[in-house]
Amino acid sequence: MLSHRNIGFYLLLAPLALWLILLIVIPHINLAMLSLQERVGVRQYETSFANYRTFIDEPLYIMTFARTAVMSILATTLTLLIGFPVAYYIAKMAVGRAKSVLFLLCLVPFWVSELVRTFGWMILLRETGVVSSFLQWAGLASGPVELLYNDASIMVGLVYTSMLFMVVPLVSTLDSLDNSVIEAGYDLGGSTPSILREIVIPHAMPGIVSGCIVVFMLSLGNYLTPIMLGGKDSLWFTELIYSQFIVRFNWELGAAFGFLLLFLSSVIVWAALRLSGQTLERTMG
């Protein structure tokens, strides 16, 4: 018979198990089966890999797939390069109320939805926006400057949207680093670059990998930012998935695209863990 402790454990586990099974496991199984269906007539299907062959045979799909991966990796790298100094300052240099205020300032933009934040960047970067007006006022441009609808504006939006998810794990990890260890490094004649390389970065590696995984997944699966800031000519793989499901009603090909995106993210996350020498349990712990 189950003890009262075991019954309580299973009752607490039940909501999580139901959430995983109903919203993740079952839909993914259904999509996997759907991606292997080829339409051969009116409501007639046969099992095959035709949808995956369609992806391989179409250069545009492959190019968009590769472009999304490269842009997501670049966005993750830029987010890390910008977020690490911010997180280090908050964790190791700011004291007292300043630390709380700075951390709160990182949270404030996320009090509104991603749609509102993206519209904000459109207002700043459009031809009649704040940045274009400033450039004209400063004499740096002779006329209106259109800064939207290019890869740079997409990158700005992706980095801005994901910054919090890089800063939070880095602050948590760096905060656990004893200041005396850094001071000992300086006492032993270490320079700032060597201390960062030998002490700070190895200690922060779980937070770095954790933040990079989250930011990469968010960038890879982002839909609003590439479409709104990149314009109608933007090539992003999530747009292809949306188009197959909603516009063309080709759910079979859309399901195949979705699993290709899932495969891509899994491979890159696995490679990142192997290269960094980290484990998923340690980075998410």
What pLDDT is recorded for position 188? 83
Cite the beta strand spans of the chain per DSSP E. Answer: 37-41, 44-47
The domain total for the chain is 1
Q: Residues with Cβ < 8 Å from 269, sequence gap 6 or more?
A: 213, 216, 217
Between CA 250 and CA 69 the distance in angstroms is: 23
CA distance 65 to 72: 11
Residue 23 in domain: no
The CATH number given to whatever domain includes residue 74 is 1.10.3720.10
Residue 2 binned pLDDT confidence (cut-offs 50, 70, 90)? low
> What pLDDT is recorded for position 3?
63
What's the average model confidence in pLDDT over 9-22? Answer: 86
Across 32-51, average pLDDT: 84
Task: Kindly report, residue by residue over 201-249, the tens digit of the pLDDT.
Answer: 999 998 999 899 999 999 999 998 999 898 777 789 999 999 999 998 8
Q: Which of 145-149, 169-173, 211-215 has the lowest mean pLDDT?
A: 145-149
pTM: predicted TM-score of the whole model, two decimal places: 0.88
Residue 120: give the domain boundaries.
50-284
Mean pLDDT for all residues in the chain: 87
Does the residue 28 lie in any domain?
A: no
Residue 228 forms part of a structural domain: yes
Is 21 within a domain? no
Residue 124 lies in a domain: yes
Please check whether residue 91 lies inside any domain of the structure: yes
Assess if residue 13 is contained within a domain.
no
Residue 252 lies in a domain: yes
